[in-house]
Every structure is written in structure tokens, then in C-alpha cells.
Amino acid sequence: MRIRPALTTASLILIAASAAACSSGSNAATPTSPASAPSSPSAAVAGASTAKATCAQLTAAQVQPLLVQPVTKVTHKAVPDQVSLNGTAQQCTFATSESQQAITVTVVGGADADNDFIGQQRSLSKPVSVPGIGQKSVRDGDDNTSTITAEASGLSCSVATSAEDQIPGVAALEQAAGDTSDIGDAKFAAISAALGTLCNRIFGSGYTTPNLSGLK
């Protein structure tokens, strides 16, 4: 923009100062650009590595889609020392009125998180990754079980059921398989992924809506 010759030196100084002030205010109000935003779910929660190891933030309503029967009791307790040497762990159980039917979530943090994940992985006969759960995850692809363990943000999270037939759609599959649990590994993979959404809620990243459409 050309400055008219009639403007004095003092006027020029005032204009420059005003322009600098406006420029400063504009920058302060400008939202963070996509280029400076986290580029992945894991990056978005990288600062959560010191998060407290707890599953108490999960609600019965969030777990209910994974159970046929209504959740009637929720309990939280500290994990025994043999699992978490530093005591930075918690276990949450979401039980139904049916005898011995529940979903259990275990979260381990701090220095024990990585050791817990590695220990769970080594205990499996056929470790298989579960896409979309945590920064890394594992289930047993050779044991007809849906138990899943995932790790992200300095936390290790495991989810297990007391019986797979309490998951919506599984009872019919087992009945079709001659009243056995031989429903195929693809079905167990789908169950594990659905259970893993509870870990994603704890990690604060990834998808959190369980998809059980593959069990129908």
C-alpha cells in the first residue's frame, strides 16, 4: 500500500506501530493450523504417558453394548503386587446378574506397563495383532479366546470376558457350531476388536464404538 506524500514522519511512525499491534493481535487469535496439529492418534495422546493407571473412568453404559445381560455391579480394585511392582494398576469388573458373567478390564501404568504387555504377549501360543487398538495390541490366535492386551500412552490395558457367549451374537454362533466354542478365529478376532474399544477409551485415542456386526 503506497503512503501518500502528505503524511509526516510522525504519522508514519504511528502507522507502523499500529500495524505491528494489529499483526500481533491477529496471530494470537489464529487457530492452530493442521500442519502443527498431531498427525496421528498416538501423537495426540503422547503427552498422556504419565496418566494414572485407572479404569474407573469407564461407565456401565459404555460397557453394556458388549454384554447381553444388563450390568448390575461395577467394582474397582488395586491389582496385586505380582502384576504391578510399583502398585500403579487397577482392575475394573462389570458384572451381570447371571452367575460368573462379567467383563474385566485391567490397566497397568508407569514402569510396569511395557513389562506387562511383553509378559502377556510371551504367554500366548500364537500372538496376533488387533488393528486399531492402542499403539500395539495382541490376542491369542490359537486358543479360542477373545482376551486382548494393548499398550499406548504409557499404559497397558487388558480386557477379558468370563465367557464369550455373553457377548451379543456369540451364543447363536456357538449353537450353530454344535454347542461348542469352535466358531472360527475370525469371530474371535472381531470380539477382541470390540473389547479393545474399552482400552481405546482409556488411551484417549482410536475408535471407541464396538462393532459386532460380524457376529450376526
**28-87 tens-digit pLDDT:** 333 322 222 233 333 333 333 445 789 999 999 999 999 999 999 999 998 765 565 555
| Three-state secondary-structure class, residue 59 | coil
In a domain, 166, yes or no: yes
Q: Are 150 and 136 in contact (CB under 8 A)?
A: yes
Cα distance between residue 11 and residue 2, in whole Å: 14
Phi-psi region of 74 (alpha: psi -120 to 50; beta: other; left: phi over 0): beta
Residue 130 and residue 150 in contact, taking contact as beta carbons nearer than 8 Å: yes
Cell numbers found for residue 48: 498422556
Tell me the CATH number at 86. 3.40.1000
- Counting the structural domains of the chain, the total is 1
In this structure, is residue 36 part of a structural domain?
no
Domain membership of residue 143 as a residue range: 52-215
Q: 3-class SS at 102?
A: strand
Q: Strand 148-152's sheet: what is its strand order? A: 71-78, 89-96, 102-109, 155-161, 148-152, 136-140, 127-128
Helices (H), the chain: 9-29, 41-44, 60-63, 112-122, 170-176, 185-203
In a domain, 13, yes or no: no
Q: Is residue 94 part of a domain?
A: yes
What percent of the residues of the chain are helix, what percent strand, and what percent coil, each to the nearest 5?
A: 40, 20, 40
pLDDT digits (tens, 9 = 90+) for 102-117: 999 999 998 889 989 9
pLDDT at 146 over 50: yes
